[in-house]
Amino acid sequence: MTSTKSPSQVPVGVDPTRPSIARIYGGFLGGKDVYEVDRQVMRKINDAVPEAVHIARGNRAFLNRACRFLSRESRIDQFLDCGSGLPTAENTHQIVQRFNPEARVVYVDNDPVVLAHGRALLTENENVLMVSADIFNAPEVMENMVVGNHLDLTEPVVLLQVGTMHHVEGDAVAVMRRYIDALAPGSYVVFSHFFDPEEPELTRIARRIENVLVNGPMGAGRFRTRAEIMEMLEGLELVPSNDLGDSGLVACDEWWPDGPALTPLSGAARCIVGAVGRKP
C-alpha cells in the first residue's frame, strides 16, 4: 500500500522516497503520516523483531510519565523538547500545561513533516513554539534566538532528549556534554536510548533491529551499553527509578510505572532505557 497523499499534499521539503525516523516512530505509535518507504523499513523491523513496537510504546509512555512527574514536582515551567517527532495524542505541552497552563514549551526538530504538522497544531497556543534546528548541534539549539526569547535559559529548564541520541553516529557523549554544560543548575534532563543489555538473547534482539536501521536507508540507530549510556549522563544526579531507590537508568517501562505489570516485559521492551537526571 502506497501513501494516499497526492504531490500537493506533501509538505515542502519532504522527500517521500527517503524514510524518516519521525514518521517511522509515529507509525509504530499508530500514526498515519507515513509513506511506503517508511512502511518498508517498518516491515523489515517487524520481520527482524515482531515485538519491536514495544520499544516505541515504552519510550512514549516513559516520556509521558516523566513530564507528569516534573510538572508536579520540579516547579519548572519551561521545557525544551528536542527531536519531538510527529504530534500524537499526548504531546509534551499538553501534559505539562494540564498541570500548569502557563508552562512554556519549545519543540526542536528539522524534519519538514514534523515542522509542518507541529506548527499547524500550535497556532492557537502562544506558550508553545516549534523551532527548526539540528538537535545534534547543541550550540545551534541553545543559542537559537527563538529558543532564547521564549525560554529563560539562565533559569532551570527541562531538556528532553527522548529517543534521539541513538541516531548520533559520531560522539554522542560530546553532544550531551554540550547540552548539559549549557543548562542552568537545577535543570532536569529526560533521556532515553536504545539499549544493549549485554545478555546474549537480548543482545541478539538489539543487533537485529540495529542492523535494519544502521545498514539500511536510515543509516543510524545504535544500541549502546549501560556504560556507554551512563557516560552521556555524566554530571547529572539521576532520579531513582522507583520508591525502593533503585538505579535511575532502567527499561523505559520500569521507570515509575503507572501500576503493576500483569505480564513480563518483552525482550524488545528491555532494549530501550530511560532516566531523568538533575543538574546540581
Buried b (16+ CB within 10 A) or exposed e, 118-129: beebbeeeebbb
Collapsing DSSP to helix, strand or coil, 103 comes out as: coil
With a cut of 90, say whether residue 9 has pLDDT above it.
Answer: no
The 10s digit of each residue's pLDDT in 140-173 is 999 999 999 999 999 999 999 999 999 998 899 9
Residue 187 pLDDT grade (very low, low, confident, very high; cuts 50, 70, 90):
very high
How far apart are the C-alpha atoms of 225 and 240, rounded to whole Å? 19
The 10s digit of each residue's pLDDT in 10-27 is 444 456 667 777 777 677
Phi, psi of 251 (to 5 degrees): -55, 135
pLDDT given at position 2:
35
pLDDT given at position 136:
95
Phi, psi of 6 (to 5 degrees): -85, 165
With a cut of 90, say whether residue 42 has pLDDT above it.
Answer: no
pLDDT given at position 170:
83
With a cut of 70, say whether residue 257 has pLDDT above it.
Answer: yes
Q: Strands, DSSP E only, in 83-225?
A: 104-109, 128-132, 158-162, 188-194
* DSSP-derived pairing of the beta strands 188-194 and 272-278: antiparallel
pLDDT given at position 13:
45
* Cell (9 digits) for 88: 500524537
Burial class (CB in 10 A: 0-12, 13-18, 19+), 39: middle
pLDDT given at position 77:
96
With a cut of 60, say whether residue 3 has pLDDT above it.
Answer: no
**% of residues, the chain, pLDDT over 70:** 86
What's the mean pLDDT when you consider all of the chain?
Answer: 87
- Please give the span between the terminal C-alpha atoms of the chain, in angstroms, as a whole number: 51
- Higher pLDDT residue, 137 or 121? 137
The 10s digit of each residue's pLDDT in 51-103 is 888 998 899 999 999 999 999 999 999 999 998 766 666 789 999 999 999 99
Place of cell 514495544: 54
- Higher pLDDT residue, 278 or 51? 278
